[in-house]
Amino acid sequence: MNKLYKLGILFLFTLPTFAQTNYNSNSRFEQLESTLPTPNTYRTASGSPGKDYWQQRADYDIKVELDDINRKITGTETITYFNNSPDELPYLWIQLDQNLFEKNSANKTAATGEIKNGIPASAFKDLTNPKDFGYKITAVKDAKGNPLRHTINQTMMRIDLPTAVKSGGSVIFNIDWNYLITEYYGRSGYELFTKDGNANYFIAHWFPRMAVYNDVYGWQHKQFMGQGEFTLNFGNYKVAITAPNDLVVGAGGELLNPNQVMTSTQLKRWEKAKTATRPVEIVTQAEAEVAEKGKPIGKKTWLFKADNVRDFAFTASRKFIWDALQVDVEGKKVWAMSYYSKEANPLWGKYSTMVVAHTLRSYSKRTIAYPYPVAISCHATLGGGMEYPMISFNGGRPEADGTYTENVKNGMIGVIIHEVGHNFFPMIVNSDERQWSWMDEGLNTFCQYLAEQEWDRNFPARRGEPQSIVPYMRLDSKNQVPIMANSENIMDFGNNAYAKPAAALNILRETVMGRELFDYAFKEYARRWAFKQPYPADFFRTLEDASGVDLDWFWRGWFYGTEPVNQSIETVEWFGVDNMDPVAKKATEKEKADAKRQTMSNIRNKTDIKSTVVEENPDLTDFYNTYDRFATSDAEKKKYQDYLGGLSEDERKLVSEGKNFYVVNFKNKGGLPMPVIIKLNYEDGTDEILRFPAEVWRLNDVEAKKIIPTSKKVVKWTLDPFFEIADIDTDDNAYPREPAQPTRVQLFKAQPRSYGGGLNPMQEAQNAKKAGAVTGSKN
């Protein structure tokens, strides 16, 4: 232990390492003004919509028929487009997403995937399917029935207006179309059950939709390539869906004619569900099993309306079980519903609607109260999910005998929370998915993580915890792009757009800002931008504005960069205060001198030398043979008392306490600056947590030293003890270093070597590989 000495009234370190400060110039804590767009009257510097904020609106009146024989959609729509922009618009852009599946589509970069270890089966089928998919636009007319000139550019269509629609004006036009429904590809389509010949339909991006015109991009008409999702306007919908009369239809809206499409028995169950505490089956499994064996005898039209939504999707099948429960969400009654075929039970009947209800309550608490009348979960194929306003298509299917694994159950619960949660991001907080996937997927995955913990205390969340993103952040930078990358350019979509932003927000909430500040700011963002279209700067600025925390360094590192977090403890130096007490000082000196005399020679001499000359001749002794050189003189004691008398009360306290002073040298090996959280284990068995903000790296982003005073001796130091910061290498987080652990070797019993009728050497090698042979893994 080194010493701290008192000179005058100042205690100074005696080591030269504290005589100067080491700098390392860096820009990690510079403000983002030069990176973020300049604030204006549309979007303010505080992150809120400005006084001149505007957005377009599009209302739809749609009549559509589902052809169950030919797997075909035929529709006609009237669109009323409101130009709330300050600009005149001589033409309009329409989204034709189904054209992604045209034979000659140039946009199938995401749908067909990459050739890695062979072509995926789905991609091979897509490439070789001879069907003529994509929109067939049969008419584009104005309100009077006159044809409108239009040009189709892959997944976009431009309509040239005879007269520009003026600022504050509106235009009405009609489109007729049809298309063949693809097999379900993860967003839309049908799933065919070959055993009974029926299909479950999940119909989405099924009608020509208005592209967005806004203050950021003008027309947002980036082509649909399958990965970057949708950029859409709010509007009111009236939709009439005609289908075979034995199909059950559910949609993202309020059903207007239940008396015409439901039986009297179903209507009674509907009423019962309004006051039930558990889901009530409107259509039972027994009824669904009868229906899937029958044939339709006509058609039925289901009428729906949806106000202030950005899209509309629906589902249909004669196989559907339909259950419902009306739940209280922030003082409002909302329908939670599920549609699923018998293949989904017993999981879906037990969990789906209950998970929907929980999700609405959890998200409403953290954002805004759910504003719509219904939220629906539909069972679609084996895994994954897709979201639309008020309705989502979700995976999670038991085995044919009804058994299921824990992973299937938890995966189903997680995907339902996630897809129903998308009602908030981006269906209400209407971000631009085609440009920035993380603004809905990342924020939603974060909220999903919180909702999962509220569902079950030990729920095994796949994303959200900082340590879950560590394997991704260990990757070489050439295998990553920043979170702030365009949706179509993202590599490793799940980690980049979902997991990393979710982990980042969790770190903000738990480590950087604290729950109170973060929760308030996050809720304020949702409140400000509900039913509006925010962009990244609006999110970044709002969280800082509502919390009073400068987070530019965080956005720069986590969202604009790809560097990992990797902190280490390099050295720990231990200092103590010299209290100048001559009695204690002499006692310490004596103890050290006695210890130094315990050499091997002296130990052996005690037995080998029977007596010394002086011991045999006492007259040879003098003063120095009996003098105690470690005794404290009266003069030394007086000097010490005079010294104490010259100290202030605080200085005397510091001297008497016997404080320890540790100088801990931290290294930032990864590059991404983060708070330093360190656990101190004391020799008496107690411990303490210290937290230093990320600003410790301001003037030197490589090395930081902290002086830590303690009353007790520290025996162990541990960085990031609660796995809060996504540190990619924890082997150097402890000081002293943890001892190396042995490599464990797995043993297997070798099969007898046999040639001829037995295994050949290649088969033996393959079996050994499958068995694990001798594999090393660190524990």
Rounded average pLDDT over 164-180: 98
Give tens-digit pLDDT for 249-293. Answer: 999 999 999 999 999 999 999 999 999 999 999 999 999 999 999
pLDDT at 577: 74
Residue 769 confidence class, pLDDT cut points 50, 70, 90: very low
Helix (H) or strand (E) holding 126: helix 121-128
Neighbours of 237 (CB within 10 A): 24
pLDDT at 658: 77
Residue 1 confidence class, pLDDT cut points 50, 70, 90: low
With tokens 């609006």, the residue in question is 538
pLDDT at 208 over 60: yes
* Beta-bridge partners for 74: 65, 178
pLDDT at 119: 43
How far does CA 511 lie from the centroid of its chain? 16
pLDDT at 725: 97
Rounded average pLDDT over 603-611: 89
Give tens-digit pLDDT for 29-84. Answer: 999 999 999 999 999 999 999 999 999 999 999 999 999 999 999 999 999 999 99
Rounded average pLDDT over 684-693: 96
Q: Using alpha carbons only, what angle is made at residue 777 by residues 776 and 779, rounded to the nearest 5 degrees?
A: 140
Q: Using alpha carbons only, what angle is made at residue 162 by residues 159 and 163, rounded to the nearest 5 degrees?
A: 110
Rounded average pLDDT over 588-604: 89
pLDDT at 759 over 60: no
pLDDT at 756 over 80: no
Residues in the chain, total: 779
Q: Look over the chain and give the mean of its residue pLDDT values, rounded to a whole number.
A: 89
* Beta-bridge partners for 692: 676
User: Cα separation of 152 and 159, whole Å?
Assistant: 9
pLDDT at 495 over 50: yes
What percent of the chain has a predicted confidence (pLDDT) above 90?
75
pLDDT at 127: 52
Return the minimum-mean-pLDDT range out of 175-184, 356-365, 461-470, 576-585: 576-585
Residue 670, both tokens: 């990864």
Residue 625, both tokens: 């043979």
* Beta-bridge partners for 449: none
Q: Which pairing describes strands 567-577 and 2-7: parallel, antiparallel, or unpaired?
A: parallel
Question: What are the backbone dihedrals phi and psi of residue 332, each rounded to the nearest 5 degrees, phi first?
Answer: -120, 140
Residue 464 confidence class, pLDDT cut points 50, 70, 90: very high
pLDDT at 655: 74
pLDDT at 130 over 60: no
Residue 358 confidence class, pLDDT cut points 50, 70, 90: very high
In what order do the strands lie in the sheet containing 198-203?
Answer: 189-193, 198-203, 314-317, 248-251
- The helix, strand and coil proportions of the chain, stated in percent and rounded to the nearest 5, come to 30, 30, 40
Nearest C-alpha neighbor of 558 from the set 605, 620, 617, 512: 512
Which is more confident, 289 or 777? Answer: 289
Give tens-digit pLDDT for 134-161. Answer: 999 999 999 999 999 999 999 999 999 9
pLDDT at 5: 40
Residue 749 confidence class, pLDDT cut points 50, 70, 90: low
What percent of the chain has a predicted confidence (pLDDT) above 70?
90
Say what the pTM is: 0.87
* Beta-bridge partners for 680: 688, 717
Residue 625 confidence class, pLDDT cut points 50, 70, 90: confident
